[in-house]
Structure 1
């Protein structure tokens, strides 16, 4: 698959502490109908570490069955390399188009350990892999040198980087990795910064629930209309502020999905919780103010 455009990352909603298959399929079908470029199933927004191997296999089967022609990228992160390999096998059997791997850990990993993980996994793949640098959840930060080293492995298709502090970093990385590997940006509030700096794909939490809004930003940016892309992103400042205020995007997006009736409350795997009280009212106000419903 081509790692370009908008990759939308939906929730993996629960009902009565089990995968809500009806709501999940509804989310997948909505993304397909919106015309996103790919679907990131079981990403961080999809809370992949909280699900068993069987639950993850079921979610991926549903995603591929209902995504139509839209490629599905499957998160396969786990603590042990053995388990990552099992999950990669399950995902490929489910018919996904690509995989997404972050170096999940309890004990802090070294760069050599992370390289060995990607070396072991990429040798067993029949689909491309996206390297996921997400220090906010893994507490491991990829150096540019490690990214360049991993990029030489077989079956690497994309590097998903966190929000960039300077455009020069994207240019530096671009010069160190093969031309066929796409740089991708995560961190929705910084998406336009990444796209304007040369990233070819936006891995989007916003797109998982509000695909039309995210598509308008990504289409403008990737066709060179940065002024429109920036204006559309700046208009979402109240939402970006909530992401910062409440420790990231997951709880805000999950709360929004509950408020809209897209999923049943509570939709997150315990002990994770969606927002309550005044915080929940703030999410409702932002949905109304930005006309996201």
Structure 2
């Protein structure tokens, strides 16, 4: 698996008991394959991995691998509170057909850098798949420092990092600092859709995208403009999606993507409780933006 381009992160449709609707998941995945995404990010934060038990996670990976049939590489999140659980989830993902794993340092007790280093090292050794570091401080309350990323980039099996995209005026310096410390060949990519275009233009290798998980076509258009060296067109396309970025910031991208998938008739699944679906004015806003932007 090459950690570059658009990695699209769909929701994981499931019922109120946490049973995944694999038929609805297949519908979402077919959209991604048709759009030509570079990889699928399964069971990420948008895929609500933390709300699914081990058996459902494995069943989800098996269903996705069967649908994709190797056409698109499959990156699977294996975050867990315990290191041994994360190792087992990584082994499950490998057995079920994943190509790489995404590892967030999930914890109730705040972790030190040495603890995260040992955690990642153990998972990389035990999972048997390339590991992408998931730097998601807003959720995990742990931030991978540039020094820790540099150390981990030299651990066998650790291949890439998924970083939250900084502001446009900071992204070039961040990339330069990370590349100066990281091992050769280590991929540096970004999430945070409303900032990702500037990260790509500055040289980020991968866009780990929520919007790409449901609306891959507009995301791919931005990526193609970046690859063609047309910064003006990439920025124009990015600005055209500003109403959607505003909804993400106001309501969270997860809630917006569930509402959008419902409105498009792709699934009637709701976010896992205690997360509540968007209703009333917020849902109407999502419908209005989908219509105005002609998103399908």
Q: TM-score range by the shorter chain?
A: over 0.9
Quick one: distance in 2 between partners of 1:128 and 1:52? 22
Quick one: distance in 2 between partners of 1:148 and 1:161? 13
Aligned position for 1:26:
27
**Root mean square deviation, CA, Å:** 1.1
Aligned position for 1:8:
8
Quick one: distance in 1 between partners of 2:126 and 2:14? 31
From 231, 234, 255, the counterpart of 1:229: 234
Tell me if the contact between 1:41 and 1:73 (Cα under 8 Å) persists in the aligned partners.
yes
Q: Which runs of 4+ in 1 moved over 6 A?
A: none
> After superposition, what is the alpha-carbon deviation per residue over 1:148-176, rounded to whole angstroms, capped at 9, x for unaligned?
11111011111110021302011110111
Quick one: distance in 2 between partners of 1:73 and 1:224? 27
SS of equivalent residue, structure 2 residue 126: coil
Q: What residue ranges of structure 2 are gaps of 5+ in the alignment?
A: none
From 259, 263, 280, the counterpart of 2:263: 259
From 283, 286, 291, the counterpart of 1:288: 291
> After superposition, what is the alpha-carbon deviation per residue over 1:86-113, rounded to whole angstroms, capped at 9, x for unaligned?
1000000011111100100111111111
Shift of 1:21: 1.4
Shift of 1:136: 1.2
Quick one: distance in 2 between partners of 1:278 and 1:231? 28
Q: What residue ranges of structure 1 are gaps of 5+ in the alignment?
A: none
Quick one: distance in 2 between partners of 1:86 and 1:142? 23
Tell me if the contact between 1:13 and 1:19 (Cα under 8 Å) persists in the aligned partners.
yes
Shift of 1:63: 0.8
Aligned position for 1:63:
64
Aligned position for 1:83:
85
- Number of residue pairs matched by the alignment: 291
Shift of 1:223: 2.9
Match runs of 1:243-258 below 5 Å: 243-246=248-251, 248-258=252-262
Shift of 1:16: 4.6
Tell me if the contact between 1:31 and 1:211 (Cα under 8 Å) persists in the aligned partners.
yes
Tell me if the contact between 1:7 and 1:207 (Cα under 8 Å) persists in the aligned partners.
yes
Aligned position for 1:40:
41
* Length-normalised TM-score, structure 1: 0.97
* Length-normalised TM-score, structure 2: 0.96
Tell me if the contact between 2:11 and 2:48 (Cα under 8 Å) persists in the aligned partners.
yes
> After superposition, what is the alpha-carbon deviation per residue over 1:35-54, rounded to whole angstroms, capped at 9, x for unaligned?
11100000111000000000
Tell me if the contact between 1:115 and 1:150 (Cα under 8 Å) persists in the aligned partners.
yes
Tell me if the contact between 1:130 and 1:156 (Cα under 8 Å) persists in the aligned partners.
yes
> After superposition, what is the alpha-carbon deviation per residue over 1:187-228, rounded to whole angstroms, capped at 9, x for unaligned?
001111111121111000000000111111112113322211
SS of equivalent residue, structure 1 residue 159: strand
Quick one: distance in 2 between partners of 1:132 and 1:176? 18
Q: Which stretch of structure 1 is more off in the superposition, 199-208 or 174-183?
A: 174-183
